[in-house]
Amino acid sequence: GPETSDVPLYDPKLLAGLDWGDVTHMKGGGDYERGFLQLLAQLTKVGDITREQFEERFETMRRCSGHYYVTVVEDMDQGKVIASATLACELKFIRGCATRGRLEDVVVSDQYRGRQLGKLIVTTINLLARHVGCYKLGLDCRDDMKKFYSSLGYASEPGNDNTMIIRF
Ligand code: 16G
């Protein structure tokens, strides 16, 4: 329908050149030492989070199986988390008990900009959302990011300029 994006969800050329082994799901506590929270601090306020708090939140998320896909890109040489994005899945009654995806907390380390890592991680979440059966995937973003997200298949919602969605 008119709400379905006809922009490809990813550029096969981009992903073809990359080793999917570099795209990993968060392994847990160790990402605390790999700078995961410092990376998130490039997006918004993080606050002082102890390793215990981090692990507790991580375990709580992990127990909500199928709801939180915290995805990271790691520079394996440096042992640093350099990009991250989260797919959060919300359960619905509508549309035959559908699942709605939300793209959250997208961030690429400022030292690694210009390498299309944002495109890589968002594309990965797009594919993952479709894979886990989301009927749509949405995000909130600032005006200056709208062009980036529309290039990756997201469309603005009528009357809601800063919410963008892909319908699968
Ligand atoms: C952006 C993020 C959102 C994040 C928020 C944090 C994307 C697509 N959007 O809106 O996920 O949670 O910033 O800002 O990454 P806040 O701390 O002011 O809510």
In Å, how far are 13, 53, 78, 97, 102 from 146, measured between CA atoms? 23, 33, 31, 30, 16
State yes or no: pLDDT of 84 exceeds 60.
yes
Q: Between 18 and 94, name the one with better pLDDT.
A: 94
Q: How confident is the model at residue 160 (pLDDT cuts 50, 70, 90)?
A: confident
Centre of ligand 1 to C-alpha 44, Å, is 7
Q: Which residues contact 152 (CB under 8 A, 6 or more apart)?
A: 7, 9, 10, 119, 122, 123, 126
* pLDDT above 70 coverage of the chain, percent: 83
Query: What's the pLDDT tens digit per position in 105-120?
Result: 999 999 998 889 999 9
Nearest CA to ligand 1 atom 19: 44
Q: Looking at the domain covering 12-137, what would its CATH class be?
A: alpha beta
Sign of CA dihedral 141, 130, 21, 67: positive
Q: How remote is the C-alpha of 119 from its chain's centroid?
A: 10
- CA 21/CA 18 separation, integer angstroms: 9
SS3 of residue 111 by DSSP: helix
Q: Is the CB of 106 under 6 A from ligand 1?
A: yes
- Can you give the pTM of this predicted structure? 0.85
> Is 146's C-beta closer than 6 angstroms to any atom of ligand 1?
no
Please enumerate in sequence order all residues whose Cβ is within 8 A of that of 17, keeping only pairs 6 or more positions apart, or say none: none
Domain residues of the chain, as ranges? 12-137
Calculate mean pLDDT across residues 85-105: 98
Distance 18 CA to ligand 1 centre (A): 27
The number of the ligand 1 atom at minimal distance from the alpha carbon of 85 is 15
Which amino acid is it at 6?
D
Question: How is 11-72 classified by DSSP, letter by letter?
Answer: -HHHHHTS-GGGEEE--STHHHHTTHHHHHTTTS------HHHHHHHHHHHHHSTTTEEEEE
The confidence score (pLDDT) of residue 157 equals 85
How far apart are the C-alpha atoms of 93 and 116, rounded to whole Å?
37
Render pLDDT for 2-54 as a digit per residue (tens, 0 to 9): 333 443 444 455 555 544 444 445 466 789 999 999 999 999 999 999 999 99
Write down the ipTM of this complex: 0.94
